């Protein structure tokens, strides 16, 4: 299994990766199961062995991404109590994961409203858990007199981190470790402050895509 | 004319506003000229008097938005030489404009790749002018030893500002002046710095939608 999460076998992960590429390229509503069959080389009946519908595919992509990023960050944060280090681990985990999964990131962003009913409810619950975790980290960080609304700060951070699928070019822009470090320093100290010891660089290991190649 | 720009009469602006709402709701590719006819109450032949195609509508929405936000910021910055004030004016203009045009913002973000040929080239040119302006402002601001890549800083700022269409609820979240002020202070000083005199609040006047009501 790609990232050691139960319930996702290799073949399904391969299907999800191809479906994310198709949805990112054509948009969810224009893409068909037939497109995904073509992209994977798996017959329609083969695909229907794994998923019931196109919507289930979209659900599984979103559920697996939020689930993986949440599992990873919870594992990284376990035992870490320093607020600045907790913040940097959160940012690095997010950036590392999504740089390796930019097509999924585009799908999560553009198709956030495309799920319905129980699928939507379950993804919303994971997103809320992730957002609440981020808010709690920022709340520990802020000096009491900063005066910036916590919701504004949280979504300012998510915006900064999530926008990368629009502009970041792996191999041409700065490496992922420097990207995560730049975001962390900007957010902690702002662009007017010279780099200081508070936010010393922490190395980021290269991570593979969540989908097996 | 909505924002005093030449070439856009009131009726056309009304059509663009309705088309942006339809594209934001259904996605550009799924929306039809017929949907826009229904949304505006203007007959198909009436619409074709103003635009040749659905793609021209998408082009005009993008061109008008980037054109307006650029014109406004260039007017605001004329004569202002202080880097911090220039930065704050840029942020306030961007936030004020897009809080009033969040459906357009969603369309600019989700349909950035939907334009082709000359339409695409013209919008790209305006985007580049806007991005270059932002980069030049950040370049003046940065102390030489900040060590954060300029492209990373620029798109970190755009991400922070542009993500609002995903979460900001006018009337429930902080008012637009406080939103712009929060973003500016976060970006200039970071969330670890207490609010200081450098970034004293500058009031933001409420601005109407670019589309006439």
Per-residue pLDDT reduced to its tens digit, B82-101: 999 999 999 999 999 999 99
Residues A83-97 have pLDDT tens digits of 999 999 999 999 999
**Per-residue confidence (pLDDT) for residue A3, from 0 to 100:** 45
Kindly report the number of other CB atoms within 10 A of residue B192's CB atom: 20
pLDDT reported for residue A164: 96
Do A179 and B208 meet the contact criterion of CB atoms below 8 Å apart?
A: no
Residues whose CB falls within 8 Å of the CB of residue B182, separated by 6 or more in sequence, listed in order = A148, A149, A152, A153, A156, B174
Q: What is the pLDDT of residues B9-29, one digit of tens each?
A: 889 999 999 999 999 999 999
DSSP assigned state of A199: G
Q: How confident is the model at residue A201 (pLDDT cuts 50, 70, 90)?
A: very low
Radius of gyration for chain A, computed over Cα atoms and rounded to the nearest angstrom: 18
Q: How confident is the model at residue A9 (pLDDT cuts 50, 70, 90)?
A: confident
Burial of B186 (0-12, 13-18, 19+ CB in 10 A): buried
Chain mean pLDDT for chain B? 88
Highest average pLDDT, of A197-201, B146-150, B164-168, comes from B164-168
Q: Which two tokens stand for residue A206?
A: 């290269």
Q: Looking at residue B94, what is its pLDDT? A: 97
Residue A209 has pLDDT above 70, yes or no: no
Are A54 and A47 within 8 A, CB to CB? no
Residue A85 lies in a domain: yes
pLDDT digits (tens, 9 = 90+) for A34-75: 999 999 999 999 999 999 999 999 999 999 999 999 999 999
Domain of residue A156, residue span: 54-199
Distance, CA of A72 to CA of A92 (rounded, Å): 11
Question: In the predicted model, is pLDDT for residue B7 greater than 80?
Answer: no
What is the interface pTM, i.e. ipTM, of the complex?
A: 0.87
Q: Does a structural domain hold residue B105?
A: yes
The number of C-beta contacts closer than 8 angstroms across A and B is 163
First to last CA, chain B: 11
Partner-chain contact B190 A187, CB within 8 Å? yes
Mutation target vs A (from B113, B131, B159; most A CBs, 10 A cutoff):
B159
**pLDDT for the residue numbered B200:** 41
Torsion angle of alpha carbons A183, A189, A193, A197, nearest 10°? -90
- Which helix or strand (DSSP H or E) is residue A108 part of? helix A102-110
Contact present, A186 and A88 (Cβ < 8 Å): no
Written as six digits, the tokens of A81 are 């109590």
Residue A158 within any structural domain of the chain? yes
Residue B157 lies in a domain: yes
Q: What average pLDDT does range A142-166 have in this prediction?
A: 90
Question: Given this model, what pLDDT does residue A192 score?
Answer: 82
Per-residue pLDDT band for A120 (boundaries 50, 70, 90) equals very high
- How confident is the prediction for chain A on average, in pLDDT? 88
pLDDT of amino acid A198:
39
In angstroms, the first-to-last Cα distance of chain A is 11
**pLDDT over threshold 50, residue A189:** yes
State the pLDDT at residue B53.
Answer: 95
pLDDT at A4: 46
Distance from CA of A160 to the nearest CA of B (A): 4
Is A148's CB within 8 Å of B186's CB?
yes
Dihedral-angle region of residue B160 (phi above 0 means left; psi in -120 to 50 means alpha; beta otherwise): alpha
Distance CA B1, CA B109 (A): 25
Helices A33-40 + A54-77 axis angle, to 10 = 60
User: Which residues of B are less than 8 Å from A151 in CB distance?
Assistant: 167, 173-174
A 10 A CB-CB count for B29 gives: 14
Partner residue opposite A160 with nearest CB, options B30, B159, B173: B159
Q: Which CATH number is A170's domain given?
A: 1.10.357.10
Residues of chain B in contact with residue A143, where contact means CB-CB under 8 angstroms, are: 192-194
Share in percent of chain B as helix, strand, coil (round to 5): 65, 0, 35
B6 domain residue, yes or no? no
Neighbours of A97 (CB within 10 A): 20
The per-residue pLDDT for A200 is 41
* pLDDT cut 70: percent of chain B above it: 85
Q: Which of B13, B213, B209 is nearest to B105 (CA)?
A: B209
From A27-31, B150-154, B175-179, B195-199, the region with the lowest mean pLDDT:
B195-199
Contact A164 B155 (CB under 8 A): yes
Say which of A152, A167, A168 has its CB closest to residue B182.
A152
The answer as to whether A115 is a domain residue is yes
Q: Is B34 inside any structural domain?
A: no
Cβ neighbours of A141 in B, within 8 Å:
191-192
Cα Rg of chain B (Å, integer): 18
Q: How many domains does chain B have?
A: 1
Contacts A173 to B, Cβ<8 Å: 149, 151-152
| Percentage of the residues of chain A whose pLDDT score is greater than 70 | 85
B80 exposure class (CB count in 10 Å sphere: 0-12, 13-18, 19+): exposed
Which residue in this structure is represented by tokens 């009913």? Answer: A117
Residue A9 falls inside a structural domain:
no
Report which of residues B202 and A207 the model is more confident about: A207
> pLDDT by residue (tens digit) across B46-62?
999 999 999 999 999 99
- % of chain A with per-residue pLDDT over 90: 79
Contact between A159 and B155 using a beta-carbon 8 Å cutoff: no
Q: Are B108 and A159 in contact (CB under 8 A)?
A: no
In the structure, what pLDDT confidence band is assigned to residue A142 with cuts at 50, 70 and 90? confident
* Nearest CB partner across the interface for B195, out of A145, A161, A187: A145
Mean pLDDT value of segment A152-178: 96
Q: Give ∠ CA A10-A16-A22 in degrees, rounded to 5.
A: 140
What does the buried/exposed string (b/e) look like for A145-173 if buried means 16 or more CB atoms within 10 Å of the residue's CB? ebebbebbbbbbbbbbbbbbbbebeeeeb
């Amino acid at each position: 299994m790609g990232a050691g999460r139960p319930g996702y076998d290799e073949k399904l992960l391969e299907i999800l990766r191809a479906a994310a590429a198709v949805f990112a390229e054509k948009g969810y509503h224009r893409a068909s199961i037939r497109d995904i069959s073509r992209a994977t080389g798996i017959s329609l009946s083969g695909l229907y062995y794994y998923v019931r519908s196109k919507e289930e595919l979209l659900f599984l992509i979103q559920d697996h991404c939020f689930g993986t990023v949440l599992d990873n960050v919870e594992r990284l944060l376990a035992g870490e109590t320093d607020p600045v280090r907790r913040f940097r681990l959160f940012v690095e985990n997010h950036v590392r994961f999504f740089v390796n999964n930019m097509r999924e990131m585009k799908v999560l962003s553009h198709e956030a409203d495309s799920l319905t009913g129980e699928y939507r409810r379950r993804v919303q619950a994971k997103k809320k858990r992730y957002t609440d975790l981020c808010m709690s980290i920022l709340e520990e960080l802020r000096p009491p007199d900063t005066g910036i609304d916590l919701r504004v700060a949280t979504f300012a951070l998510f915006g900064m981190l999530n926008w990368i699928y629009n502009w970041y070019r792996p191999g041409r822009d700065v490496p992922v470790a420097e990207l995560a470090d730049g975001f962390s320093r900007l957010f902690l100290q702002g662009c007017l402050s010279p780099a200081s010891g508070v936010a010393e660089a922490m190395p980021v290991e290269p991570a593979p895509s969540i989908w097996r190649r």
